[in-house]
Structure formats: structure tokens, C-alpha cells
Amino acid sequence: MKKYRFRNRTKPGLIKSGSTLFLFFMAVVSTSCDDFIDVTPESDIDANTFFSNPDELVFALNGVYASQRGIYGSLDYFNLIEARSDNAGQDQTDQKERVETDTFEETPGNLLMVNIWTQNYILINNANTIIARAPDVPFDSDMEQTLINRVVGEAKFLRAMSYFTLVNMFGPLPLRTEPTVDFDDAILPRSPVADVYGLIVSDLSDAAEVLPDSYSGGPFNEEGRATRFAALALLGKAQLQNGNPSAASSALQDLIGQFSLLGDYAAIHAAGNDNTPESIFEVSYNPTNQTGLGFNNVLIPASEASRLGIVAGGNGGNLPTFPTSDVQTIYEPGDVRAEASFTSYTGGNSTHYIGKYIDPDAAGDGSDINLVVLRYADVLLMKAEADGESAASYELINQVRRRAFGQDPGTPDPAIDIDASTPGSFLEKVMLERRREFVFENQRWLDLKRLPPSEALVIINNHLIAEYTGVPAVNANRLIYPIPQQEIDISGGVVEQNPD
């Protein structure tokens, strides 16, 4: 019986630079430039010979997973999402384009935006190629047919994840669902946000139909691929973000009780602690294969890196981004999440640095830390938000809170638990708990965007006033980024710009 495995035996989706995989991967509009992927652009692909067997299809899919590392593990993405929020401040003497994204003054030519836009559309195009050509791949058994169906489900999950990222950053998008084989195919007008979410929901629903609940790991090392639960978790997140709480709750219900909160909050992001019982989907990194996580080390002062014995990393001057003064005040006494998320130090432009992603053994090939994109605490808090105020919803919130104070998540504790009598609206309480739980995990900006725009703008403008001097007030149009100018230029104006 033929079985398929990752070529790399360490983590899913990790492949060595220079691999022949990249003969299969074609980026038409632009190329990706990061430490791990070297994509060769082509303007045409022979659809009849691209994938000759299921093994090649799996091999190509591994590269789609690998390309996520350059998106979600980059300082660009962290700056555009987390530093955009009231959780993180930005060094105002840093590179102009980074500063502008923090103060909502970015222009359509901003390279941080261009990079994230380009990398996501390269991933989408590669996923489209797999989805479109998989039905033509020959197979010899039911097992191989099942494998092909699963690969398509994984590709749809990965495509949906990129579209979810892009629609929340840029609003209406060119909706590309077929492989781009020449530049004429690449020119599409922007589709409404509702249509983008329609594809996301369809992709994730399809993926949930064919993906397994888990993978066996072992010699075939498939642990870490997208599962049915990952598809449902992202589906719930997308439905909640799109204002459909009932649909979100329905998708999330199947995950309740299938995972568990780790006893130690700090262990969630600890080096080498991959695919834990709390984790639903991670973007994998591994320094053994020269694909370690890198952006985290620039968040640490050089003096602290030296003190911690970290060979690689440490910022010698001002920190590029750091915890805001406000976020340091949101934790109650005894909440371990504060200590696990930021650390005090003397010197530079901040009193604290982001210490959530520290690998004491990090060297030249980066850190052995996976980025946990979907985890069970998120499911619990999303389900509570989607269902609204009730005793059951407070219990979901309180499970997360109890772990934060070192207690058993399943055991009620009146000293920790909150309920309807706790001050604040139910949504305010959920949002505060989410901010505490997911600080520096690229969640806060999405949470703010779920608020009414007027409320989000008050939080954002108060943050800017508190952190900086002379920054102009933000208006509702700035809750999404401008479309990269290169996309508008290449399209000849078919793609229109967001209002300023």
C-alpha cells in the first residue's frame, strides 16, 4: 500500500531551499523574497504535465505551507497587524514606511503592504494551481483518490486563510480562483467583501468535509497539516468577523471538548513545544533546516539577548516595536499572562520589550518556535462572543481566566470568575479577555475591526494621542489599508483605490 510523506522529516511543510519543488511552483505577478522560498516565475504552465501523480501533488502542497512562513513570520506582517493596534508602539525614528503604518499615514506605495499583498497572492495562485489540476492527476487506488481529495481540502484551507488575511487588511479584493497563466488573467476588478467571504466560507466548508480530525504523525510526520478542526476554527473566525455570530457558533461548536488548555500559559509559545493539545493550527519553523523564526529576535534588546544567552538576535538601538504603556496596565494581579508576554528592562525607547517568543538557543538559523495561528482559547472566547451573554458563555470565558491565574480551567473559582455582575458590557468583557489572552499574537487588530467603527476609532485615536505627539486623527477609511499602487498600475485602473 503506497503512502505519502513530507520529504522533510522534521516538521510539516518544511523544505530545503534549492529543492526541485520549485520547478512546480510558478508565480506570475511577482516573486517572493524571503529566507526560505526561491520561486521561479513563469508566464505559462503546461496543464497536461504539471502533476503526473499524487506524490507530486503532495510535494507541491508542502510548498504552499512553506510559503506561509514568509507571510506570518515576518516583521512586516507584525507591524501591519499587531503594531497597528493599541497593543504595540512603533519606534518613530525607524524606517519611514514602518512608522507610517503605525500612525495610519501609509501611502499606496508602502513596501510593507506590497510585500504582504504579493506574498499572499503568490500563495493563492499556487493553491489555485493545485485545486484546478488535482482532478486530472492519475491515481491507482481509492487510497490515492482520498489523498488527492485531502490535498485539495488543504489547499482550500490555505487559500481561505490568505483571503481572510487580505480582506481584513484591504477590503474588496481581486478574487482569483483559477491559476494565473499569463498577465491578462491576472487583471481582475475588486470583488465586494461579501463575495470574498463567500469564497472563504465555501473553501473552509469544503475543507471540513474531506480533512481528517488529526494525523498520525510517526514516520510519515503529517502532524501539523490543516485538519477538519482547523477548517472549522477558521470558519468560525471568518463568520464572526463577517458579522454572522450564529454561523460562527455553529462552526465552533464541534471543537468544544476536542482540545484542552495547557496548564502553563507560557508553554504555548515555548521553543520546541509544537502542536500541543491546545494548538489547532500552526505555521511551522525549524532552525535545523535553516527555516527558523526570525522576526522575534529583533523585538529583544541586545542587552537582554546577551543576558539570556541568545546568540542570534537582540536589537542594538531602539526597539522597532514594543508594548504600549496602556497594554501594560490591563492585567490583574496574579495574571501570569503579563509576565509571559512582556518583560521590563532598562534602556532604549521603552521600559518593556515583547518577550512572548523567546528561544534561548536561537542562533543564526532562527528560533525553534512555531506561530500558533489557531488555538483552543480562541475557540472558547469566540464561541462566547458569538453566543452572547449567558451563564454558558461566562463559563467559556472563565475557563480561559482560570488558566491565566494558574488554576484548573474546569474548576469554578469565585475569586477569578466573572459574571453578569462584573462591571462593563458583555462585549467589553470579552474583548478585554481577548486582549489579555492574545496580546502580540496578531489578534487585536481584527478584534477592534469587529467593533462599530466609531468605537474602534476612539480606541485607536486615544492610543495614538497617548503614545505620540502630532499624529493626525484617524478616520474610518483608514480601518483598511490602501491597495498597493503597483496593483492599480498593472491593471490599467481596473483595480480601484480605497478612499483616503
Q: What is the predicted pLDDT for the residue at 183? A: 72
Asked if residue 483 has pLDDT above 90, the reply is yes
pLDDT band for position 45 (cuts 50, 70, 90): very low
What cell does 269 get?
509559545
Q: What is the predicted pLDDT for the residue at 7? A: 32
Q: What is the mean pLDDT of residues 455-471?
A: 94
Contact predicate 196/170, CB 8 Å: no
What cell does 131 get?
485545486
Percent of the chain with pLDDT over 70: 89
Q: What is the mean pLDDT of residues 32-55?
A: 46
Asked if residue 440 has pLDDT above 50, the reply is yes
Asked if residue 263 has pLDDT above 50, the reply is yes
What cell does 440 get?
502580540
* Each residue's pLDDT tens digit, 362-381: 988 899 999 999 999 999 99
Asked if residue 286 has pLDDT above 80, the reply is yes
d(CA 154, CA 384): 28
Q: What is the predicted pLDDT for the residue at 221? A: 56
CB contact set of 393 (below 8 Å; sequence gap of 6+): 383, 384, 385, 387, 426
Contact predicate 345/301, CB 8 Å: yes
Asked if residue 23 has pLDDT above 90, the reply is no
DSSP H helices in 85-227? 96-102, 111-133, 142-170, 183-186, 193-210
* Each residue's pLDDT tens digit, 141-190: 988 899 999 999 999 999 999 999 999 999 999 999 999 877 777 799 99
Choice among 17-31, 230-244, 433-447 with the minimum mean pLDDT: 17-31
Of the two residues 96 and 216, the one the predictor is more confident about is: 96
Q: What is the predicted pLDDT for the residue at 305? A: 92
Asked if residue 303 has pLDDT above 50, the reply is yes
pLDDT band for position 217 (cuts 50, 70, 90): low
Count other C-beta atoms under 10 Å from residue 283's C-beta.
20
d(CA 71, CA 68): 5
d(CA 410, CA 222): 31
Asked if residue 15 has pLDDT above 80, the reply is no
Mean pLDDT, all residues of the chain: 88
Q: What is the predicted pLDDT for the residue at 290? A: 86
pLDDT band for position 24 (cuts 50, 70, 90): very low
Q: What is the predicted pLDDT for the residue at 182? A: 75
DSSP string, 411-454: S--TTT---TTSSS-HHHHHHHHHHHHSTTTT-HHHHHHHS-HH
Q: What is the mean pLDDT of residues 183-206?
A: 93
CB contact set of 425 (below 8 Å; sequence gap of 6+): none
Q: What is the predicted pLDDT for the residue at 289? A: 87
Q: What is the predicted pLDDT for the residue at 5? A: 31
Asked if residue 6 has pLDDT above 80, the reply is no
Which single residue is written with the C-alpha cell 472563565? 398
Choice among 24-38, 284-298, 440-454 with the minimum mean pLDDT: 24-38
pLDDT band for position 55 (cuts 50, 70, 90): confident
Asked if residue 1 has pLDDT above 90, the reply is no
Contact predicate 282/370, CB 8 Å: yes
Contact predicate 19/236, CB 8 Å: no
